[in-house]
Amino acid sequence: MNRNLVLVALSLFTWGLGEGFFIYFQPLYLQQWGATSIEIGGILGALGIVLTLSQIPTGLLTDRFGPKKLMWASWILGAIAAWWMVFAPTLSLFVAGYLVYGLTGFGVIPMNTYIIKARGKLSVGRALTFISGMYNLGAVIGPILGGRIADRWGFHTVYIIAACIFVVSTAILMFIQSIHEIHPEDLSHKPQNSSGILRNPRFLLFLGMTFITLLVLYLPQPLTSNFLQNQQHLSNSTIGLLGAVGSFGNAFATLVLGNIAPFWGLLVGQIWVALFAAFFLWGNSPLWFGMGYFFFGGYRLYRSMTLAYARPMARHDETGLLFGALETASSAAVIVAPVIAGLLYSQDPYLIYRYAFIAILVVLVTNLIMMKIFFPRVHPEKL
């Protein structure tokens, strides 16, 4: 593995550590600010809106100008947004900072493009899941420390520490080389018309399938912290520990299962999240909830495998646009799912997990049929 992927991996590990400090507690902190479950769902949905609007333009810019500078911009903006949340004096300003932080998710597109082009002899799936796994390894530590610090000194201290860690992560990323420095022959590459993939019926069908699947996969997650605190009466430390188990599940899914064929990765990811919903629906102790959190790693696995599975549908000069379209579908799911979760939670918190479990099983069978009929595989490395 070359030094550039090592630097990206270290930066993602550090970022995962910082984000892990607060990400599982974000709905609880919003609740402390006075937001209701429906308002929290709306805020998380708004996060999806800003992400959705940025994805395809980012993909086009990545194909046009290369990924490195866009990665830098994402990391720097994320660090600034973290400090914005630290100093926000009101809920509205905190939410504004959180939305800016969420906007930095556009960095996933140039990052994945960079990984694909700098991966060397690694397969597409292995390269993507390895880097994702490094982020999740960092995120294992963050929730444990964040929960303990929140119980002792409050959530505000958690955000201060996370913001400091983001500065370190950004500094590490500043040392990566551009793609042209890694592959000088790319200097002569001139992008073709990068709209072909958006006229590909098979890809558009796959895009729609991805949106529906990610919608039902994300549905049981947004208000889980509130469920654990309000319905199960667990402490912040315990919730943080469960979040760490969830991050370990993410790391296990991406690092250990990252070498399996994308077709099987998509199916395994859906089955795992169905288990997550089942454990929360029928479980009644932290042990059951921890097992459930572990299986939410299937969500990360599914997202990584959609990129590997769809990669053969696009030309090499459309890599950024491909990832942009898929991230748009993912972000659109993040708009809708938290709103639905908030409405269900306000009626009966258990409805979230009941409906998610049923919907995932239906979507799993539908996806299996569609992939067999409409998406015969071409091995990515042959393109």
Q: How many CA atoms lie within 13 A of 234 on its CB side?
A: 25
383 vs 380: CA distance, rounded Å:
6
| Cβ neighbours, 10 Å, residue 327 | 25
Q: Is residue 184 part of a domain?
A: no
Let me know: does 311 contact 268? Beta carbons within 8 Å: no
Q: Answer whether residue 187 is part of any domain.
A: no
Q: Nearest-CA neighbor of 213 among 124, 312, 309? A: 309
Instruction: Show the tokens assigned to 141.
Output: 């530590």
Q: Residue 314: left if φ>0, alpha if ψ -120 to 50, beta else—which one?
A: beta
Amino acid identity for residue 109 in this structure: I
pTM equals 0.72
Q: How far apart are the first and last CA of the chain?
A: 21
Residue 311 lies in a domain: yes
In a domain, 185, yes or no: no
Cα 158 from Cα 145, distance rounded (Å): 9
Q: How many domains does the chain have?
A: 1
Given the structure tokens 């929290």, which residue do they identify? 40
Neighbour tally for 303: CB within 10 Å:
23
Which stretches of the chain drop beneath a pLDDT of 50? 185-194, 378-383
Count of positions (residues) in the chain? 383
For residue 12, give the amino acid letter. Answer: L
Q: Answer whether 132's CB lies under 8 Å from 254's CB.
A: yes
| Residue 362 belongs to a domain | yes
DSSP string spanning 255-285?
HTSTTS-HHHHHHHHHHHHHHHHHHHHH--S
Nearest to 125 by CA among 263, 252, 6, 11: 263
Residue 193 counted as domain residue: no
- Rounded to whole angstroms, the Cα distance separating 205 from 317 reads 21
What CATH number is associated with residue 216?
1.20.1250.20
d(CA 129, CA 120): 15
Provide the pLDDT for residue 193: 45
Write the DSSP symbol of residue 278: H
Amino acid occupying residue 148:
R
Q: What is the largest CA-CA distance in the chain?
A: 61
Which residue's structure tokens are 């991805």? 210
Query: What three-state secondary structure class fits 344?
Result: helix
The angle that helices 297-310 and 124-153 make with each other, rounded to 10 degrees, is 150
Judge whether 13 and 300 are in contact, CB under 8 Å.
no
Residue 284 is part of which domain span? 3-176+201-382
The pair of three-digit structure tokens given for residue 188, joined into one six-digit string: 């002569």
Q: Classify residue 192: in a domain, yes or no.
A: no
116 in any annotated domain: yes
CA 279, chain centre distance (Å): 22
3-state secondary structure of 66: coil
